[in-house]
Chains A and B, each alone.
Chain A
C-alpha cells in the first residue's frame, strides 16, 4: 500500500470535488459527477442496470478521463461480464491489456467455506489494494458487495469489515461505486446505505401499461446540490443516457431572428417574417388537413437554407413521407442525401414516454439540428396521459429552447370540442399555434387555416383557405359573405360571379357616359340655333332702328327745304340742302 500513486487533488476546493462519470446526462444532474475519492452507492432491483451503470463508469473513466479503474465482481465472472458489455461496444479485454482496467472476480461459495472462529476480510483488502496499485486505479466498483452476506455467516464481522472497507477506499483516494440490491424496506437488502453516506443513487425499473421505463433518482448527495427528480434513463447500444429533466429557471436566451415557414403566404400572415428562431410551433387540425405537409414544408425550406432539420416521425415511415411530399413538389430525398435532413422514425409504443424523450434528446444531441419536427405528438398520448405528454413536451421544449432549436409539433385533433381541450395541454407552452380546420360546405370539404396565436408578433387574424397543390402549399383568401365563409368551388363561383358583375357594371357605366355626351351635343346644337335666331332678331331690330333714323333725317331735311322754299331764297338755299345731304 506504500505504492499509492494517487496524486493529491489539486483543485481549489469550493465544496467537494467531483469526478465526472462520463455517463451522458448524469454529470448534469449531479452538477459535475460523483464525489471524488468517496464511495457512492447505487441501488436498485434486479435488472435495473446497476452493473451496467458501474461498468460504464469504469470504462468511460478509462477511455475519456484517463482514470484507470478496478471492477471487482462478486456476481458475474469476468468472462460473462465481458460478453455482456461487448454489445455496448466496450472491449474490456483490450482495456485490460492496456492496463486501463482490471476486473477481479471474487468467488464466494458457501459450500466450500467453513468458518471457525475469528477472521477478518483483510484478504479482500489486500486483493483490492493490489489491484488498485497495479494499474494506478482512480475508480473502483464493487458489484455487488452484498453477495458477501450470502457467502459468509458472521454478519457482525461482515458489517464491521464493510465499514472498514469504505474507510480503506477513502484512504486509497479512489472514487468508488458500490452496488446493492434493493431491499424490502430499506434501499438495500443489507442496509449498505448506513455505511455509504456521501452519495446514494437509486435505479428503478417500472412498468406502466406494459411499457417499461427506467428511472434514476439521487437519494442523497452530501455536500452538493443536485437534481432531486426522478430522471428517466435509457440503455441502448451506446450505453446509458440519463435525461436531465427540466432546468429550474426560465432564463433562456431568446432570438429575434426569424425563419420562414416555407409557405410565403403564411409568412405574410406572420408579419412577413415567419417564426422566431428557437420558438415552438404547434400545427393542429383534424385528420387529413395537411399537418404533415406543413411540417414537411417547414423542413424543406430549412434544408434549402442549408440548415439541418431532424424529423421525428411517429406515424409514417420516412419513405412514405418522402413519397407523399414529392407529390406536392418537395424533394426531401435530395435533402436526405445532402445530409441536411434526417429522419428518426419510431412507433410510439416502442418505449415509454420518458424513453422517447431520452431517445429524442440523444438524436438531437447527435445530429445538432436547427429545426426539429415531431409528427405527430398526439400519437404519444397512446402511451401516456395528456398530463404526462405535457410534462414530456415541457421538458423537450425547454431543452430545445436552450439549444436555440426551432421546433414544430403537429397534433391531431379528433373533433372540435375535444380539440381545444387536448390542445390546451400543449397550447400554453408553444409560441405559435396554427390551427387548420375543416370547412364543410356545398358538399365539399375545404381547409381553413388561421393563426391562433403567435407570441411577440403582429399576426393576421384572418381565416385563410389552405390549399395543397402540385406545386406546394398556399393560402387563399376566403370569402366572407352574408351566407358565411365561402371556400373551394363556392369561393371560385363567387369570384366568377363578382367578376361578371364588375364587367356588366362597367358596361352600364360606359353606356351612360355615352348618352350624356350625346345629350350634351344635342343641347349644344340647340343652344347654337337659339343664338343664331337671336342674332337674326337683333339684326332685324337694328335695321328698323337705322331706317327710322334715316327717315327722321330725311324728313327733317325735307322740312327745312320746304321752309326755305317758302321764304323764297331759291337758288343758293337749294344748293345748301344738296350740300347738307352730301354731308
Chain B
C-alpha cells in the first residue's frame, strides 16, 4: 500500500455525530493508515456550495477521493469493519 489516502469528511457544524465521526476516523487512520493519509474536514455550514460537487446528502459523510474508485461512507463511522471495507483497506467480506 504505497498510496496516500486523501480523505474528506463533510460535517455540518459541530454536532455530536460530526465530532464522533471525526474521532472515529482519526483513530481508524492512525491504526491502519499511519503516515499515508490526509484528512480534510469540510463544514457545509460555512461552505454550502461544496455539497453539490461531491454529491453530499447525508451528514457526516466521509469521501475517499484518492485512491480511485471514489467511495463514500456515511454515518458516524462507529463500525470499524465497515469503514475499512469502505476505504478498500479490507476486501468486502464474503458472506
Determine whether the beta carbon of B75 is less than 8 Å from that of A116: yes
Contacts of B60 in A (CB 8 A): 119
Report the nearest A residue to B74, measured CB to CB. A119
Taking CB atoms and an 8 Å cut-off, the chain B residues in 1-54 that contact chain A are 10, 12, 17, 20-21, 44-45, 48-49, 51-52
- B88 → A minimal CB distance (Å): 10
Contact with B along A95-133 (1 / 0, CB 8 A): 000000000101110001111111111111011011000
In the bound complex, CA of A582 to CA of B76 (Å) = 187
Q: Which among B10, B69, B77, B82 is the interface contact of A123 at CB below 8 angstroms? A: B10
A126-B44, A126-B48, A130-B51 given; A112·B58 CB < 8 A:
no
A122-B12, A123-B58 given; A116·B48 CB < 8 A:
no
Q: Which among B55, B56, B82 is the interface contact of A114 at CB below 8 angstroms? A: B82
Determine whether the beta carbon of B51 is less than 8 Å from that of A114: no
A114-B71, A126-B45 given; A108·B57 CB < 8 A:
yes
Report the nearest A residue to B48, measured CB to CB. A130
Determine whether the beta carbon of B72 is less than 8 Å from that of A112: yes
B89 contacts the other chain (CB 8 A): no
Contact with A along B71-93 (1 / 0, CB 8 A): 11111111100110110000000
Contacts of B75 in A (CB 8 A): 115-119
Determine whether the beta carbon of B73 is less than 8 Å from that of A122: no
Determine whether the beta carbon of B79 is less than 8 Å from that of A116: yes
Determine whether the beta carbon of B58 is less than 8 Å from that of A121: yes
In the bound complex, CA of A119 to CA of B71 (Å) = 16
Determine whether the beta carbon of B17 is less than 8 Å from that of A104: no
Determine whether the beta carbon of B71 is less than 8 Å from that of A112: yes
- A500 → B minimal CB distance (Å): 99
Determine whether the beta carbon of A124 is less than 8 Å from that of B85: no
Residue among A118, A121, A124, A148 facing the most chain B CB atoms (10 A cut-off): A118
B66 contacts the other chain (CB 8 A): no
Determine whether the beta carbon of B59 is less than 8 Å from that of A120: yes
Q: How many of chain A's residues touch chain B, expressed as a range?
A: 20 to 34
Report the nearest B residue to A157, measured CB to CB. B58
Determine whether the beta carbon of B56 is less than 8 Å from that of A117: no
Determine whether the beta carbon of A119 is less than 8 Å from that of B76: yes
Report the nearest B residue to A108, measured CB to CB. B57
Contacts of B79 in A (CB 8 A): 116-117
Determine whether the beta carbon of B76 is less than 8 Å from that of A116: yes
Residue among A119, A120, A122, A130 facing the most chain B CB atoms (10 A cut-off): A122
In the bound complex, CA of A90 to CA of B8 (Å) = 38
Residue among B21, B74, B75 facing the most chain A CB atoms (10 A cut-off): B74
Q: Which among B10, B72, B77, B83 is the interface contact of A113 at CB below 8 angstroms? A: B72
B interface residues, how many (CB within 8 angstroms): 33
In the bound complex, CA of A27 to CA of B48 (Å) = 35
Determine whether the beta carbon of A117 is less than 8 Å from that of B85: no
In the bound complex, CA of A115 to CA of B59 (Å) = 11
A114-B83, A116-B79, A130-B51 given; A122·B72 CB < 8 A:
no
Contacts of A106 in B (CB 8 A): 55, 57
In the bound complex, CA of A122 to CA of B18 (Å) = 11
Determine whether the beta carbon of B83 is less than 8 Å from that of A107: no
A152 contacts the other chain (CB 8 A): yes
Determine whether the beta carbon of A117 is less than 8 Å from that of B48: no
In the bound complex, CA of A121 to CA of B74 (Å) = 10
Q: Which among A107, A108, A117, A151 is the interface contact of B77 at CB below 8 angstroms? A: A117
Q: Which among A112, A115, A116, A123 is the interface contact of B56 at CB below 8 angstroms? A: A123
Determine whether the beta carbon of A117 is less than 8 Å from that of B12: no
Determine whether the beta carbon of A123 is less than 8 Å from that of B44: yes
Contacts of A126 in B (CB 8 A): 12, 44-45, 48, 51, 56, 59
Contacts of B55 in A (CB 8 A): 106-108
Contacts of B58 in A (CB 8 A): 119-124, 152
In the bound complex, CA of A233 to CA of B32 (Å) = 60
- B4 → A minimal CB distance (Å): 21
Contacts of A124 in B (CB 8 A): 56-58
Contacts of B71 in A (CB 8 A): 112-114
Determine whether the beta carbon of A118 is less than 8 Å from that of B17: yes
Contacts of B49 in A (CB 8 A): 130
Contacts of B52 in A (CB 8 A): 104, 127, 130
Report the nearest B residue to A134, measured CB to CB. B49
Contacts of B82 in A (CB 8 A): 114-116
Contact with B along A132-155 (1 / 0, CB 8 A): 000000000000000010011000
- B56 → A minimal CB distance (Å): 4
Contacts of A112 in B (CB 8 A): 69-72
Contact with B along A148-187 (1 / 0, CB 8 A): 1001100000000000000000000000000000000000
In the bound complex, CA of A115 to CA of B61 (Å) = 9
- B35 → A minimal CB distance (Å): 24
Determine whether the beta carbon of B76 is less than 8 Å from that of A127: no
Q: List 28 A-B contacts (CB under 8 A).
A: A106-B55, A106-B57, A112-B70, A112-B71, A112-B72, A114-B82, A114-B86, A115-B75, A116-B73, A116-B77, A116-B83, A117-B20, A117-B75, A117-B78, A119-B60, A121-B57, A121-B59, A122-B59, A123-B10, A123-B59, A127-B48, A127-B51, A127-B56, A130-B48, A130-B51, A130-B52, A148-B57, A152-B57
With contacts A120-B59, A126-B12 known, what are 14 further pairs, Cβ within 8 A? A114-B72, A114-B73, A115-B82, A116-B77, A116-B78, A117-B78, A118-B20, A119-B59, A124-B57, A126-B45, A127-B56, A127-B57, A129-B48, A152-B57
List chain B positions with a Cβ less than 8 A from chain A: 10, 12, 17, 20-21, 44-45, 48-49, 51-52, 55-61, 69-79, 82-83, 85-86
- Nearest first, the 4 A-B pairs at minimum CB distance are A114-B86, A130-B48, A117-B78, A117-B75
